[in-house]
Structure 1
Amino acid sequence: MKCIQLLIILSLFSIFAYPQAPATEVRAVWLTTNWGLDWPTQGASVSAQKEELIKILDKLKNDNFNVVLFQTRAHGRVFYKSKIEGLSPFFNQSEDFDPLDFTITECHKRGMECHAWLITYPMEKATIKYTGKGKRRKATIVNDKPDYYKAIEDRWYLDPGRPESRQRIRSIVKEIVSNYDVDGIHFDYIRYPSNTGKFPDDDTYKKYGNGKTLQDWRRENINTLVTEVYDEVKDIKKWVQVSSSPLGRYKVLPEISRNDGWTAYETVFQDAGYWMRSGKHDLVFPMMYHRERYFYPFLDDWVANSNGRIVVPGLGVYQMDEQNWPLKDIQDQMKYIRENKVKGQAYFRTGNVLSNLKGIRDSIQVYYPTPAKLPPLTWLDDVSPNSPTNLQIQKDKEGYLNIAWEAPDSTEDFTYNIYVSATETFDKENPSFILTTGLRANNYSFLPSIGEFGFYYFLTASDRYHNESVVCFPAYFVHSEEEH
């Protein structure tokens, strides 16, 4: 079976050769919890739900992903223990189980970051429920402050023009960042509904418009939220990254007709380019769920507007199912990203990747042959940490190599990267030397391959901003095939 799998991967590689993988790259995936699309199985026991997530994360780690965008809030329900909003019904109400905390811990065990993915403005369905007396009432979440919400089509939305809406989102973000070791806050649906011509905010505009055009006022409402959240996050934990997933097309481009579909800036009033230019975003994950002329020029436009921030195009793997895209469309996009030195890619969504839809997981395993470090956030901090010390290696009776070291002399939190080379020299930017990245503990154990005889092991520390130290003094270990 392993031989067959290897032949499949080699055939993929020969048919579709990717540019060499870099040593530093964002490799992200959206993990959807709403409706249990990726996780969890509704009604399963807590232990079963935990085991289910562990298996998912093990597979992502095996495929060399390094960022999990974990859906933490959806439509006014949350996936953590909150004093502001209720827990999603897709999880068991257990005092001992906090889905967000568990996910963060398990991601960190595997050297992956966990970013809290929040559905921003959309709330619950705007269904009308009948009481026993024949009276009608609004859906439950909006009952407390009905003036804060607007209904359009079949859903309630927080009104972006109201200061109370901004405060609601800010309080949720503050609660998460203050109480959890998240690596990032990731906003989704941080926009007006697509059918904005019907969004009933005339009263809010009249009260708060201050002479601006409706379009400029709406963009300013979202810009204000982004600015306030970013500043508050950095006041609490400067290293926590702030990002969002705007529509894949930022603005109308000269070569693309305005009638060719919606854009972030013109249609739903997302000015994510401004968020990066004004220094209020660390990353942007545009939802590039399009093909050909609706993908490539718009990705170039995002990079041109990035202000040195990290652009991570989101690839619509799900379209191979819903729109019957061929695998080659996604492969072409992956290749273009590498060729143009874009700093990473993200995939929507986890279930489509791990089910190997049309062979996408096989392709990703070729695309990610080795682990990767994360790009440094130099606009937040550009000082490299001190190196770890006292690197030691021992082999146990089961044949595992146990590598241990001492942390740099500092109160900071670090992750660690291990490199391996047959000689005393190596290149940190050559991915072929990387053994593992993102370690949180001061030790690492693995079973070396038979036939490895003598190797040098190198170690670096990275801070929470992904700045990497110089290499500590290496350790040399002689492997003996007879010992295995």
Structure 2
Amino acid sequence: FDEIVRNYDVDGIQFDYIRYPFQQPQINQTFGYSKSSRYLFKEMTGVDPIEISPGHPLWNQWTGFRIHQVDSFVARASRHLKKVKPELIISASVFPIEQRDRLFRLQQNWEEWMRQGWVDMMVLMTYALDTGNLEERIELVFDDSLPRSSLVIPGLRLLKVPDPVTIDQLQFIRNLPISGFSLFATENLTPSLQGVLSRVQSSEKSQPLPYREPFKTALTRYQSLQKEWMFLANKQGLKMDKDSFKNMDAQGKQLEKALNQLAMNPSRQNLKIAKQTLRQFQQQFPNWMGNHKQTYNYQVQVWENRLQTLDKLLLYGERRMISNSKIR
């Protein structure tokens, strides 16, 4: 990793297979019994781990020992690489399996990596052949126990997935309070899919990346919301009285100004103003949309989700701002 970061202009490092292989202790399918691991664990407990199995008093300690091996590698690698290149983005591909089961079978404790700030972005391998299965697999994105400043995004599988299904999954993700998505893998990004994406993506040639420029991303996404509201208003598609629209438009312009100032000049003060202005806008939004929601409830929910995403991007940006200042 050090060689890569020092000698190549990489945007980041992504950890993959950062875990033990899948295990089924019940049929003696377990891993981690290298000479060094056995020696270290025996030094700690007086027992060779090869002699224990599930149900043994030391089995949980043996599982914890292996969890620590993965955790400590992530921590050491992250700290070292951030010192070499503070702006480096560190991410990881992880399984969207319930934590207790995952620790038992894989020893992959990625929630702790997020809490400690060792990893900037977590990419859940929520690969699905259809949108229904994707919906079932992204529940961990909304885990309340994770830090609100965590950037956790779903991964979409492209292999053997028809283009219309991929687009449907992308739209499903965009309608949720999620900061972005990852496509797996580049070799499966066919010319036909690239053509579809070029038609449905923003007309802007260059869009800021959430993990790299969260404040600019928040600004551009809010501006897209403004355009959508203005388009509907011009087409008489917003069921709002004049006073509500006038108030929303006025506060909306204040929010755009605050987000723009933050994007152009990231500072603690500008961040504080942007967070306060966004919070005030979010609090008033349900009142402004009261009439519209009676007819278009799902549409309003999507807009509220996208406003919630702006809040997540600001918190993630704040986290990176603090982290970078500590490293330097």
What TM-score, normalized to structure 1? 0.37
Change (3 A) 1:250 1:195: closer
1:199 is aligned to 31
* Alignment pair present for 1:250 and 2:78: no
The question of whether the paired residues in 1 share the 8 Å contact of 2:124 and 2:153 is answered with yes
Question: Per-residue displacement from partner, 1:179-205 (whole Å, max 9, x unpaired)?
Answer: 222121111111112246243616444
Change (3 A) 1:287 1:239: same
Question: Per-residue displacement from partner, 1:458-482 (whole Å, max 9, x unpaired)?
Answer: xxxxxxxxx7315xxxxxxxxxxxx
Percentage of identical aligned residues: 23
| Equivalent position to 2:223, from 414, 430, 434 | 430
* Alignment pair present for 1:296 and 2:132: no
The question of whether the paired residues in 2 share the 8 Å contact of 1:275 and 1:281 is answered with yes
2:264 is aligned to 469
Q: Whole-Å Cα distance in 1 between the matches of residues 82 and 104 of structure 2? A: 29
* Alignment pair present for 1:361 and 2:209: no
Structure 1 gaps of 5+ residues are 1-172, 254-262, 321-325, 385-415, 418-425, 434-466, 471-484
Q: Whole-Å Cα distance in 1 between the matches of residues 105 and 156 of structure 2? A: 21
The correspondence of residues 34-433 of structure 1 with structure 2, limited to 5 A, is: 173-195=1-23, 197-199=29-31, 201=33, 203-209=35-41, 210-211=44-45, 213-247=61-95, 249-251=96-98, 264-290=102-128, 291=130, 294-304=133-143, 306-307=146-147, 308-320=149-161, 326-356=162-192, 360-370=193-203, 371-375=206-210, 429-431=222-224
Select the structure that is richer in helix: 2
Q: Whole-Å Cα distance in 1 between the matches of residues 98 and 221 of structure 2? A: 38
Letter in structure 1 aligned against 2:86: K
Q: Whole-Å Cα distance in 2 between the matches of residues 343 and 217 of structure 1? A: 34
The question of whether the paired residues in 1 share the 8 Å contact of 2:131 and 2:168 is answered with no
Letter in structure 2 aligned against 1:206: R
2:284 is aligned to none
Q: Whole-Å Cα distance in 2 between the matches of residues 353 and 427 of structure 1? A: 25
Letter in structure 2 aligned against 1:273: E
Q: What is the deviation of 1:365?
A: 2.4
Letter in structure 1 aligned against 2:11: D
The question of whether the paired residues in 1 share the 8 Å contact of 2:20 and 2:32 is answered with no
Q: Whole-Å Cα distance in 2 between the matches of residues 274 and 200 of structure 1? A: 21
Q: Whole-Å Cα distance in 1 between the matches of residues 184 and 195 of structure 2? A: 16
Question: Per-residue displacement from partner, 1:112-146 (whole Å, max 9, x unpaired)?
Answer: xxxxxxxxxxxxxxxxxxxxxxxxxxxxxxxxxxx
Q: Whole-Å Cα distance in 1 between the matches of residues 220 and 153 of structure 2? A: 25
Letter in structure 2 aligned against 1:365: S
Q: Whole-Å Cα distance in 1 between the matches of residues 84 and 172 of structure 2? A: 37
Letter in structure 2 aligned against 1:208: L
Q: Whole-Å Cα distance in 1 between the matches of residues 36 and 20 of structure 2? A: 14
Q: What is the deviation of 1:368?
A: 1.7
Q: Whole-Å Cα distance in 1 between the matches of residues 222 and 127 of structure 2? A: 31
Q: What is the deviation of 1:238?
A: 1.1
Q: Whole-Å Cα distance in 1 between the matches of residues 23 and 163 of structure 2? A: 32
Q: Whole-Å Cα distance in 2 between the matches of residues 277 and 377 of structure 1? A: 19
Q: How many aligned residue pairs are there?
A: 206
The question of whether the paired residues in 2 share the 8 Å contact of 1:302 and 1:311 is answered with yes
Q: What is the deviation of 1:339?
A: 1.0
Change (3 A) 1:327 1:266: farther
Q: What is the deviation of 1:427?
A: 7.3
Letter in structure 2 aligned against 1:430: Q
The question of whether the paired residues in 2 share the 8 Å contact of 1:251 and 1:266 is answered with no
Letter in structure 1 aligned against 2:94: P
Q: Whole-Å Cα distance in 2 between the matches of residues 427 and 293 of structure 1? A: 29
Q: Whole-Å Cα distance in 2 between the matches of residues 340 and 213 of structure 1? A: 39
Q: What is the deviation of 1:332?
A: 3.3
Q: What is the deviation of 1:316?
A: 0.7
Letter in structure 2 aligned against 1:250: I
Q: What is the deviation of 1:312?
A: 2.5
Change (3 A) 1:338 1:428: closer
Question: Per-residue displacement from partner, 1:393-435 (whole Å, max 9, x unpaired)?
Answer: xxxxxxxxxxxxxxxxxxxxxxx99xxxxxxxx97842599xx
Question: Per-residue displacement from partner, 1:322-367 (whole Å, max 9, x unpaired)?
Answer: xxxx5444333212211113111111122321243xxx33442244
Structure 1 residue matching 2:167: 3-state secondary structure: helix
Structure 2 residue matching 1:191: 3-state secondary structure: coil
Q: Whole-Å Cα distance in 2 between the matches of residues 251 and 216 of structure 1? A: 17
Q: Whole-Å Cα distance in 2 between the matches of residues 328 and 233 of structure 1? A: 40
Q: What is the deviation of 1:264?
A: 4.3
Q: What is the deviation of 1:282?
A: 0.2
Q: Whole-Å Cα distance in 2 between the matches of residues 427 and 361 of structure 1? A: 22
Q: What is the deviation of 1:252?
A: 6.0
Q: Whole-Å Cα distance in 1 between the matches of residues 208 and 64 of structure 2? A: 39
Structure 2 residue matching 1:219: 3-state secondary structure: helix
Q: What is the deviation of 1:222?
A: 0.6
Select the structure that is richer in strand: 1
Q: Whole-Å Cα distance in 1 between the matches of residues 199 and 94 of structure 2? A: 28
Structure 2 gaps of 5+ residues are 46-59, 227-261, 266-328
